[in-house]
Structure formats: C-alpha cells, structure tokens
Amino acid sequence: MPYDYDTLARWDREHLWHPFTQMQGFAREELLIITRGEGVYLYDHQGRRYLDGVASLWCNVHGHRRPELDRAVAAQLENIAHSTLLGLAHPPAIELARRLAEMAPPGLARVFYSDDGSTAVEAALKMAFQYWVNRGRPEKRRFLKLSGGYHGDTLGAVAVGGIPLFHETYRPLLFPTLEAPAPYCYRCRDREDCREQCVTRLEELVAAHHRELAAVILEPVMQGAAGMIPQPPGYLARVRDATRAHGVLLIADEVATGFGRTGRMFACQHEGVSPDLMCLAKGLTGGYLPLAATLATEEIYEAFLGEFHEFKTFFHGHTFTGNPLAAAAGLASLEIFKKDRVIEGLGEKIGLLARELAALAAHPHVGDVRQRGLMAGIELVQDKETREPFPVARRTGHRVILAARKLGAILRPLGDTVVLMPPLCITLEELKTLTRLTREAIDQGV
C-alpha cells in the first residue's frame, strides 16, 4: 500500500534536503510530489497533470514512459543491472561508445564514461591537465573559462564555473583560473556598437597565456545556467581557431546542449567545430538514468599510453561508471533519434517557439528572449526601458513558476529568467500550450 500524501510530505520535511533549495521557505510551500509521467506530462499525487516545461531539469528527450526506452532498460535488467568497467566490459557500454564516436564531431574517437555532467567535466579537466604532464609540458596547467559558465557542482567543475552566486563561497577551495567575458549581449555596455570585444578578449587571453594554458572550457553556442546566454554566430569557431593556433585544448561542455537540444545533434556542429574533449550527460540516456561520457581525440588518448611503470595511466573512475542499464537506455535513445528522424523534425518546433517568443517579447516585463533550438530563456525586468531587474528578494522568477504550476506547467527559473526546455518530442500543439501557460504565469507572477 503506497503511503498517503500527508505522510510523505511530513517525511519529506523531516528528512529530505533538496538540492539548490533554501529549505527554510520550502517547508511552507505546498510540496508537489510527482508520482508518474507519460510523454511530456508529469502527474502528481492527486492525478493532476503538468506539462514538463524543463524536461525534468533539461534531460528528458523523447518523453516519459517511452516504450522503447522502458523495454531496453527492462531487457538489460534480464541480463545484469550493474557490472564494473574497471578491467571488465559489457555489451551496452561497448556498443554505445562506438555509436557516440560515430556521431560525434570528427576526431572524438574515445569514450570515457562517468555518471553525471559534473563527473564528465572533472574527467575532462584531469585529462587535459595530465595530457600536458604526459607530454612533458607540465607548465601548461591553467584553465580559461567564461564568466557565467556552469559545469557542475563538484569542486573542479566549480573552479571553472563563473556564476558568483553558486561558486564564490567555495573560492578558497578552488584552483585559480583565467576568465574571459561571456557574450551577454542584452547586458553588454557596447551593445549598440558591438566590436566583438568579448571574443577578442578571449583571443587575447589565449595568445598571452598559451604557454601556461592547458585548455579553454565553455558551453558551446548557449550558456545554460547563466540564464540562457547565446553566443553570436561565429563565436565558437573563433575560439576553436584561437585555441588550435596556440596549442591550447578546447573542452566543449555539451552536457546541456547535446542530443538535439539546439537543433543539431551537438551544438559544436552548428559551426563545424571539433573540440579536443567533449562532455555529455543529461540527454545521453534520453533523460532516463544517470550516465555521462567524456569524449577525447585519439591524440589525447595516445598521450596516456606507456608502460605501466611510467604511470601515464588515467587514474580516475567511478563505481557506477558506464552502468549497463543506463548505457542500454542510451543506445535505445539514439535508436529513436534515427528511427523517428528526431533532428529533422525539430525545425518546425524551433520555428514555432521563435514566433511565440517574439510575441512574448512585447510583454511590458519581458526584457529579452533568447533561444537556440528548443532551449530558451525569457528575462523578466522591472523596467523595460532601463533594463532594470526586479529586486532579488521579490523572487519574481520563483513567483512565475509557482503560478505556472497552478496553471498546469512545471517550469524552473534561473533567477528572473524563465527557462523553456521541453522534451524534444513535444508536439506543436503542446508547445503552443506551454508558451500560452508561460505567458499567463508571467502575467500573474510579475
């Protein structure tokens, strides 16, 4: 017999510490307990239905309870739930590695598994660092990051993060980095007269520091957690050119942008860019199970080869790395991409979202709308003319998502930027509903 809502809510208050949540106010809000999902919908304990407007934190791709994915996980469960990749292998991990290498930007032939986006980034940072150690260039050990960057919450990932609210507290624990300004055009002082100072500054930093730089790390095309900050066309290609010209590795964190989110399978493909290392997670299993991968070029991989006693080995790995159930889900997800021609079908949805966002941009409290593919941010402001934000304590973004919840949509803001990030399988009709509910929620919340 399942426990009733009141019991669960009490136990939640007594024992659960929710991530990224100020628990003090949280206990006073009505707790929403999701009991099941179907397609783009989530259902709560009372059977109320909600559109999953942020794809269960940016990871769901083909919908909940997708039969092919359910079957793939169940079928793998008939064989084994978990076996390690440390010194052993299993079919799903092998097959998925081959598929990922096939579809990734050219050159990324090696797949190193871990469990979530943060660990994929940790692995990439340590690989980049050790690559130069193994190559006899240990002085190349610094990382260049972007302001507003987000790469996860473990300490290495935090060190290359650029969101003061999330990262500043931990500064004494972090290794020092170089930081280039992200292209946040809406709040850029030079926006009327763009001289591309942001990318120029990055190029200058790479040129000036290349002797000590191991790698540049960034979220290609769209910075997610910063508040959906898109890069102007050509930006990524210039970063690639600068890093290549100066012998600095490029780490593309595609944890959020990967698997169709921006309209191509990987965001790097918009600019024909092949990074040296690429981090994948969130959508890798269709959003079903935790699994991540750090893809590397053969050149990086080969720098780790040697006799055992040379200690060039990559001494890194997690217990559940490349878990078979998760890898089976990953394979099934890629099969759906192919069978349903998912990427080819996105154009119409992306176009519709663009039109709906353009209409929303006229709203008196919408300062800016930003979109790449099915990844969008709506920045709310107190004053549209001056672009003055709402007072932080007012929690405008949070109010909006509470209103959305009453209207039947699950959203999650980044500050006062409302994020839209539906599963890619959303229909045109459902997408219209999502943007309509978002508009109503904004009206009620601001």
Ligand X SMILES: *Cc1c(COP(=O)(O)O)cnc(C)c1O
By the criterion CB under 6 A, which residues form the site for ligand X? 116-118, 121, 150-152, 219, 224-225, 253, 255-256, 281-282
Helices (H) and strands (E) in the chain, counts: 15, 17
- How near is the Cβ of 393 to ligand X at its closest, in Å? 26
Residue 81 is given by DSSP the state S
> Which residues are registered as beta bridge partners of 218?
252
Residue showing the smallest CB distance to ligand X in the complex: 117
Backbone φ and ψ of 321, nearest 5°: -45, 125
As a whole number of angstroms, the distance between CA 338 and CA 357 comes to 29
With CA atoms as reference, report the closest residue to 420 among 404, 435, 432: 435
Distant-in-sequence, close-in-space partners of 19: CB < 8 Å, separation ≥ 6? none
Show the tokens assigned to 1: 């017999």
Cβ distance to ligand X smaller for residue 63 or 148: 148
> Are 410 and 55 within 8 A, CB to CB?
no
Helix (H) or strand (E) holding 352: helix 346-360
- How near is the Cβ of 100 to ligand X at its closest, in Å? 17
Cβ distance to ligand X smaller for residue 20 or 308: 20
Cβ distance to ligand X smaller for residue 284 or 403: 284
> Are 277 and 121 within 8 A, CB to CB?
no
Cβ distance to ligand X smaller for residue 151 or 312: 151
- How near is the Cβ of 217 to ligand X at its closest, in Å? 10
Cβ distance to ligand X smaller for residue 63 or 162: 162
- How near is the Cβ of 269 to ligand X at its closest, in Å? 17
- How near is the Cβ of 135 to ligand X at its closest, in Å? 27
Helix (H) or strand (E) holding 7: helix 5-15
Cβ distance to ligand X smaller for residue 117 or 422: 117
- How near is the Cβ of 229 to ligand X at its closest, in Å? 12
Cβ distance to ligand X smaller for residue 221 or 300: 221
Per DSSP bridges, beta strands 292-296 and 229-230 are unpaired
- How near is the Cβ of 391 to ligand X at its closest, in Å? 27
Place of tokens 């490349």: 322
